[in-house]
A and B are shown apart, each in its own frame.
Chain A
Amino acid sequence: MTHIEVGEGDAENGVLALVVTVVELLVDALEREAIRRMESGTLTDEEVDRLGRQLAAIEAELESLKRDQELEEPVDQLRGDLDGLVTDAIQRLDEDARSVNRPGYSVFEGDAS
Chain B
Amino acid sequence: MTDGGRRDARAETPTFEEGRYVYCLVSLEGTDGTSLETEGVEGEPVRVVDAGDVGAVVHDCEEIYDSADLERIRRWLVRHQRVVDDAGDAFGTPLPFQFDTVFRGDDAAVHAWLERERETLEAALSSLAGHWEYRVEVVRTDPVDESTLVRADADLTDLRGRIEDAPEGAAFLLEKRYERRLDEVRARRRGDRADRLRDRLADHAREVHELERTRPQSVGELSAAADDGAETVCRLTLLAHEAAEAAIGGVLDEVAEEDGLEVRFTGPWPPYTFAPSFGEGATGRDGGPEPTTGTDAR
Contact = CB atoms under 8 A, between A and B. Distances in A.
Contact of B293 (A45, A96, A103): A103
Interface in B2-20: 2-6, 9, 13-16, 19
Interface in A1-28: 1-3
B272 interface: no
Q: Counting chain A CB atoms within 10 Å of each CB, which of B5, B113, B172, B285 scores highest?
A: B172
Interface size class of chain A, counting residues whose CB lies under 8 Å from the partner chain: 35 or more
A109 B16 CA distance: 11
Nearest to B177: A35
Contacts of B9: 103
Contacts of A35: 173, 176-177, 180
A110 B105 contact: yes
Contact of B171 (A39, A52, A54, A110): A52
Interface in A68-113: 84, 96-99, 101-113
A56 to B, nearest CB: 4
B141 interface: no
A62 interface: no
Contacts of B15: 113
Most B CB within 10 A of own CB, among A39, A49, A84, A103: A103
B99 to A, nearest CB: 8
Contacts of A31: 173, 176
A67 interface: no
Interface of B: 1-6, 9, 13-16, 19, 64-66, 98-105, 109, 113, 166-174, 176-177, 180, 279-281, 285, 291-295, 297-298
Shortest beta-carbon contacts, A-B, top 4: A110-B104, A52-B169, A53-B169, A49-B169
